A and B are shown apart, each in its own frame.
Chain A
């Protein structure tokens, strides 16, 4: 049985696909795809081999692209991927998620859509727009973006989403109704006596641990957190990390206690690698202790950032870890972060990295 490993990379100038075998040593590169439009998120379905790319073209607006032949041919659609007339139109698609036969798309301004026909048509899940807190959401630097989408493998009705500067929300009924789940996460940018609001926290990345019903992690604008109760309460796990600021988070494919982060030097300090030395930080104990992983990563002049969706793991043993920089470099580790090597140095600015492992 041949194993094919794909890295799906969304950039400011289209989608790219890297491919390697199980050893993850030599990689080939295809792209750019999607007419070089900015692609915020590219995901793959290992069961079907379908790849979906989502973004927003500066001329032609938001759409979801898909390919059934690993990038050789693409189609696109945004049918139904819109709000009612008169509302601020959907500007771009920011996040994609597939659970069994259902595709989900998170958009800017923040909203959630689903497709049950493989992306041909989309249905707006109105619940988020109707949430009582909706009029008070304020866009962050990248806009009011729904960038994180998490579902429960055991229960199709349970969905968690992360919206920049609005916070984490959870639905137990498939997206009809939502409740904010931000207790314990800070809003350092708020007045001193209002730093733990019900919503308005600036979540940057929300991920769900494998093999666990309710264990979540998040990288926030203001700290790193874990929740053992599905987001009802959060506890800080930033002690031992070089800063409380960063964008992405990635879980291990099997171990719920292993998490990878990429802390940056600070939200008002340039947002690059601390001391300009690149490192991925890993915990093996659910955030109680941290190890910096920097072998093979640049240890001088690393003035780059890594964005919300640009850190990923694969499902192989040992797990591969990958991240793409805002400057267009892509780094890979085939041993859970111990050793790193560059796969590309001069791509367009990287917005997202995902993996897909296909066994032929």
Chain B
């Protein structure tokens, strides 16, 4: 059973997470689209970290909050760790404009 299949689509509390390509390079085996069981963005991060240890530290800092140059969007809205998620939601994790 692959990690992708661990939480199948259609489950009442599952959401689909779309990860940025740059992040995938840091975690060999990570997938662009991940289905996890979560009712909040914080739980999404918990699940990502469970699947790929260390991933939460790449996306969140210890304020705790989503990192300054990481954006998480749901239904076109930028969300925070505490934001609730509806079953079936698609959670976009994006790298913001940064660097020089």
Q: Which residues of A contact B (CB under 8 A)?
A: 12, 35, 57-61, 63, 76-79, 82-87, 89-90
Contact = CB atoms under 8 A, between A and B. Distances in A.
A7 B64 CA distance: 38
Nearest to B65: A89
Contact of B25 (A35, A63, A77, A78): A35
B54 A89 contact: no
Interface stretch (B1-9, B40-48, B91-99): B91-99
- Chain A contact residues: helix, strand, loop or mixed: loop
Contacts of B26: 35, 60, 76
Interface stretch (B10-18, B29-37, B55-63): B55-63
A237 to B, nearest CB: 36
Interface of B: 22-23, 25-26, 53-54, 57-59, 61-64, 67, 69-70, 95-96, 98-100
A201 B42 CA distance: 42
Given A58-B99, A61-B61, 10 more contacts: A35-B22, A35-B25, A60-B23, A61-B67, A78-B57, A82-B57, A82-B62, A85-B62, A87-B62, A90-B61
20 contacts: A57-B58, A58-B69, A58-B98, A59-B67, A59-B69, A59-B70, A59-B95, A59-B98, A60-B26, A61-B61, A63-B57, A63-B58, A76-B26, A76-B54, A79-B53, A82-B57, A82-B61, A85-B62, A85-B63, A85-B64
A87 B61 CA distance: 10
A78 to B, nearest CB: 5
B13 to A, nearest CB: 26
Contact of B67 (A60, A82, A83, A84): A60
A86 B61 CA distance: 10
A63 B23 CA distance: 14
